[in-house]
Structure 1
Amino acid sequence: MARNIEIKARIESVESLLPVAAEIADEGPIEIDQDDTFFACPNGRLKLRAFSEHDGQLIFYQRPDSAGPKESFYVISPTSSPDTIRQLLSLAYGEIGRVRKHRTLFLAGRTRIHLDKVDELGDFLELEVVLAEGEPNEAGVSVAHELLEKLGISPHQLVEEAYVDLLAKLPNKPILSPTSAGR
């Protein structure tokens, strides 16, 4: 499985970080609309990411919920029929949440800088430092800390949970169970 070091932070606004991210980046900005559907999965997280009616990815990943840089293992499989895959997985495993966001992507060396506007949650920064096979986590953690400093992100802004978990905590937001989801 591929690996990266991830870190997420709540930010005041995507617009305030755009010029700083652009200055640091080698490529970008790339604007992406994402609709992520999460399914019950006992061994990690399973989500379907839809970019459009005919373009998506099925993604499995494992990572701890903790503030600060954390290792994530993942496998991604492209799909040309995300709506059918969503229906199939909802029926088979149960849908546990859905996250819709607009992502502005920058690439800085081996790091993906995501500036996310998440429906119902607000604005976030997410860094993903891609690790080479056998590379120690510490190398990616060091890169993540450097970028956080350049972006002006303080430790109190760090978020440990996934967007889907933050959405589930919102008032008046029903938590879907695997048995009731998809019905």
Structure 2
Amino acid sequence: MAKNIEIKAVCRDRAVLRQRIEALAGAPAVELDQDDSFFNCATGRLKLRDFGNGQAELIAYERPDSAGPSLSSYTRTDTDDPDGLRATLTHALGSWARVIKTRHLYRAGRTRIHLDQVEGLGDFVELEVVLAAQEQPADGRREAERLMAELGIQAADLCAIAYADMRATPN
């Protein structure tokens, strides 16, 4: 399983944060439309991320509900039949939430920085520090904390739960 250290925070001033991220990343963002469907499963989370272009990825992950840098373990599988896979998973497992967002994806070294506009929820920023195979989570946590400080992300703005939990609307 791949692993990373993640944080999610409310974005109070999108323009200011975007400037800080662009200065740190040194390259423009890639804009992605994402439609995430969440399915019932025995452990962790299972979501289908549809990019709206006939491509999608099925992502199974485990992450604690915790404000601050948290370890996430995940696997991803690509599909070119998102509608068929969504229908099959909904039939077999049931679906419990849907999250639609526009994501601006930046990279700063090994860290993915997401500036998200989430339908019905607002603006957020996420950091995902990708861990090497044998790397200790503490190393990733230190990097996440350093980036939080550089970007001006305050502890009071950190979110403990996923967008799906914030939204929790059936589709």
User: Which TM-score tier does this pair reach, normalised by the shorter chain?
Assistant: over 0.9
1:131 aligns with 2:99: no
Q: Deviations over 1:54-83 (max 9, x none)?
A: 110000000100000000000000000101
Instruction: Output aligned runs, 1:146-165, within 5 Å.
Output: 146-165=146-165
Following the alignment from structure 2 to structure 1, what is the Cα–Cα distance between the partners of residues 26 and 73?
Answer: 25
- How far off is 1:48 after superposition? 0.1
Query: What's the secondary structure of 2:143's corresponding residue?
Result: helix
Which residue number corresponds to residue 11 of structure 1? Answer: 11
Q: Deviations over 1:92-125 (max 9, x none)?
A: 0000100000000100000000000000000000
Which residue number corresponds to residue 77 of structure 1? Answer: 77
Following the alignment from structure 2 to structure 1, what is the Cα–Cα distance between the partners of residues 160 and 138?
Answer: 18
Structure 2, unaligned runs of 5 or more: none
Let me know the Cα RMSD of the aligned residues. Answer: 1.2
Aligned length: 171
Give every structure 1 segment of 4 or more consecutive aligned residues whose post-TM-superposition deviation is greater than 2 Å: 13-16
Q: Deviations over 1:129-180 (max 9, x none)?
A: 0000110001000010010001101100000000000012xxxx5xx5xxxx
Instruction: Output aligned runs, 1:10-159, within 5 Å.
Output: 10-159=10-159
- How far off is 1:18 after superposition? 1.1
- Contact 1:53 1:81 survives alignment (8 Å): no
| Sequence identity percentage | 48
Q: Normalization by structure 1: what TM-score?
A: 0.90
Query: What's the secondary structure of 2:147's corresponding residue?
Result: helix
